[in-house]
Structure 1
Amino acid sequence: MTTHSNDKPLFPVPLAFIVGIIGISFSAIFVRWSEAPVAVTAMYRLLLTNLIMLPFLFKYTAEIKAIRWKSVFGLIGSGLFLALHFLLWMASLSYTTVASSTALLTLEPIFVMIGAYWLFRQKNSWGTVIGMLIAMIGAAMIGWGDFRFSGEALKGDLLSIVSAAAVAVHMLLGKTMRQSMSAFVYSFFVFLAAAAALGVYNLAQGTPLTGYSQKDWLMFLLLAIVPTMFGHYLFNWLLKYVKAATVSMSVLGEPLGSTVLAFFLLGEAITGIQIGAGFLLLFGIWLFIRSQGRKGKDEMVATPAVPAPLPEIPEERTGASRPSLTDS
């Protein structure tokens, strides 16, 4: 069943954002609780997600058969960059704090916005840019006290930055493909490609694929369900209805969510500056969404691939030329 660009969302888009942000905020917690190598954790996280989705795959048989080779390469490419993101970001948590690592991930919207302008010529209002910058400042302030510019912490911070660039490429590829492919099919094969890439990496490194504790397997499963199904899958679904840059803004909520969860579950301290930064971050996100205005509402339903014919408008009656399909 191939979806069409004019399909309406099954449930409110803002709700999907909130659930997705909460979902990805748990990712750092589960990674910290696992004692398995990060590449193994990432691989099993995705493989278990595929197993969860597998029973429902038969419903999309017609759509899968219609996939062309160009789309196959796109799915593989998106999966490779997702694998690179997971590998680098999870590795960063071994060198730096949750607050610092997730705060640096907020560079993702900048990378996505630059890529969207370069590839799709997508422009944004000044209000949108200002809102994003305010949110990024708030997110950076959350992790500021944990930033280190030397030693292992610097290595973790650099890994987090490169992982943000990788997931930005994954997001831009997804935006292109989601216009003609369902979220389920796109997510299933991207997760599979990413898991395969991580599997090859683990084999090349000689990393054991078995012998992990029950606690580790529980973390793999929780990572599959909470931040992947209720996080990344929802964001893949959103790519059809809003800009890639708008979806990438959701990552700005992760430092706040992860820091709060790390306080309660990992015992990491929260400072007064971080609390104030949290309010600044939320204000920036609110300003970003508000600045989208009518344009943001129009994005909820993308332009149909085959536009419906315009009604005939007698020029002698209106005295005006027929409107163009590109008028907004």
Structure 2
Amino acid sequence: MSLMTSLRATPNWVWLLLIAAVFGVSSAGALFQQVDDVPPLLRASWRLQLTSLVLAPLAIMQWRIHGQSLKHRFTERETILWLLGGGIFLALHFGAWVASLDETSLTHSLLFVTAHPLIIVFGMALIAKYFVNYRSPSRWEIIGACIGFIGAALALIDLGDEQGGRTVTAWGDFLAFLGALFVVGYIVSGRVLRKWMPIFLYAFPVTLIGAVILIPASYFVEDNFSQFGVFGWIQMDYFGWFLALALIAGLLGHTGLNTCLRYVPPLVVSTSVTMEPIIGSLIGFMLFDTGLPGFWTWIGGPILIIGILLVIIGSSRADANNETSEVLEES
């Protein structure tokens, strides 16, 4: 089935869900900034704790359906290690990204944390150099990565610019980029386990592991941990914000995108998510007065997004060509 035929056959509700999911994930940055009196690692843990509670009943339902047939695979050492790895990288991703929201502007944080396709291209080139069975980046992936890094460099000219009460800093942008680097590990874990593991049976333990890891990290690193406590999100001042993060950004956003993957090609979902910096910045500006980006961010930001889009499209084409070649070799 061709891409266009597949898209025409997609139910209308899937498109509505995709739009809602993109807006959901895009809202997270602005929501996190509304509770910036809470230290970032603890804030990240609270978000994952509440998301785990939301995912738990859904995971129980899937376990009742699939548990008996998959029980032996869940107890395998390899599965446990991949789940632990996914949880660790998720904790690192959220910890670095939420910290970046305190250190730079919302737009810069969103631009750099969504740059993980550029990191994947670099990783592919490095791995392909030393391992025979891995493909090198395609021409369009390399071109896209180069364009993306040029866009990032242009956006960095705005360092020191004041945007809605936040100053653009190299440290904040670096933390967001670290968040993008760490999410690659989470993506790899998901790709390995989601080949056979139902979505909620994967998402629940990984999210819970991430939440638990961030608790001692906050305790040892952040001075005012005791002021808020492990479960401080239950306080009325914070509960609404973190419930919104769990339901809107977590359940509607991330789970919605995973649901859409059952009905539309991954390329469509991936390209849609590249709009997160734009939509997230608009949500922050319109609802929370987070300010508008500086001049060079207006120039470099779109160039960075175009580079990411080229990487995603180039990756989709390269994977399709590889699958075709494998079929021809087997026939």
SS in 1 for 2:329: coil
- Report how far residue 124 of structure 1 moved: 4.3
Give the structure 2 partner of residue 25 of structure 1: 26
The answer to whether the aligner puts 1:175 opposite 2:191 as a matched pair is yes
Q: CA deviation digits over 1:228-274, x for unaligned, max 9?
A: 2233335566789977x997766643222222222212240245665
> Which residue in the other structure is 2:164 paired with?
none
**1:185 pairs with one of 192, 201, 204:** 201
What's the counterpart of residue 324 of structure 1?
A: 329
Partner of 1:220: 242
Residue in structure 2 matched with residue 126 of structure 1 by the alignment: 139
- Change in Cα spacing, 1:131 to 1:204, as seen in structure 2 (3 Å) is closer
User: After the TM superposition, which residues 55-70 of structure 1 pair with which residues of structure 2 at under 5 Å, given as runs?
Assistant: 55-61=57-63, 62-63=66-67, 65-66=71-72, 67=74, 68-70=76-78
1:286-312 C-alpha deviation (Å, 9 max, x unpaired):
65565567666789xx99xxxxxx9xx
Deviation at 1:199, TM superposition (A): 2.3
Size of the aligned set, in residue pairs, is 297
Matching residue of 2:92: 84
Matched, 1:261 2:262: no
The residue identity in structure 2 corresponding to 1:159 is: L
Q: What residue number does 1:307 align with?
A: none
In the alignment, the residues of structure 1 paired with residue 252 and residue 136 of structure 2 have an alpha-carbon distance, to the nearest angstrom, of: 29
- Alpha-carbon contact 2:118-2:311 (below 8 Å) kept: no
Structure 1 residue 172: deviation in Å? Answer: 1.6
Deviations 1:118-142 (A, max 9, x none): 2872444323443454456556656
Partner of 1:100: 108
Are the aligned partners of 1:252 and 1:281 in contact in 2 as well (CA < 8 Å)?
no
Matched, 1:145 2:167: no
Shift of 1:101: 1.8
Residues 159 and 170, structure 2, Cα contact 8 Å, conserved in 1? no
1:280 & 1:152 partners in 2: Cα distance? 18
CA distance in 1 between counterparts of 2:77 and 2:49 reads 23
Equivalent pair of 1:135/1:282 in contact (CA under 8 Å): yes
Do the aligned residues in 2 keep the contact of 1:104 with 1:160 (CA within 8 Å)?
yes
Matched-pair contact (CA < 8 Å) for 1:132–1:288: yes
> 267-276 vs 175-184, which deviates more?
267-276
Q: Is the 8 A contact 2:110 2:280 kept in 1?
A: yes
> Retained in 2: the 8 A contact 1:136–1:252?
no
CA displacement at 1:30 relative to structure 2? 0.6
- For the 8 Å contact 1:115–1:172, the answer to whether it is kept is no
Which residue does 2:3 correspond to in 1?
A: none
Partners of 1:47 and 1:135 lie apart in 2 by 34
**Kept after mapping to 1: 8 A contact 2:159/2:168:** no
Q: What is aligned with 1:74?
A: 82
Inter-CA distance 225–146: structure 2 relative to 1 (3 Å threshold):
farther
Structure 1 alignment gaps of length 5 or more? 1-7, 304-309, 311-322
The superposition leaves residues 55-106 of structure 1 with CA deviations (integer Å, 9 ceiling, x where unpaired) of 2223322345231221111111111111011111111111111122222224
How many angstroms apart in 2 are the aligned matches of 1:253 and 1:136? 17
Provide, for residues 170-214 of structure 1, a one-character-per-residue CA deviation record: whole Å limited to 9, x for no partner.
112221221121222111111111011112323445542255642
Task: Please tell me the residue identity of whatever aligns with 1:324.
Answer: E
Q: Does the alignment pair 1:156 with 2:172?
A: yes
Q: Give the number of the structure whose alpha-carbon radius of gyration is greater.
A: 1
Aligned twin of 1:196 = 212
Aligned-partner Cα distance in 2 for 1:263–1:142: 18
Q: 1:232 to 1:54 in 2, by over 3 A?
A: same
* Residue in structure 2 matched with residue 318 of structure 1 by the alignment: none
Q: Aligned equivalents of 1:19 and 1:215: distance in 2?
A: 26
Identity percentage of aligned residues:
27
| Partners of 1:238 and 1:247 within 8 A in 2 | yes
111, 114, 118: which one aligns with 1:110:
118
**CA distance, structure 2, for counterparts of residue 210 and residue 188 of structure 1:** 18
Ranges in structure 2 where 5+ consecutive residues have no aligned partner: 1-5, 162-166
Q: Do structure 1's residue 230 and structure 2's residue 252 form an aligned pair?
A: yes
TM-score, length basis structure 2: 0.71
CA distance in 2, matches of 1:78, 1:97: 28
The question of whether the paired residues in 2 share the 8 Å contact of 1:79 and 1:194 is answered with: yes
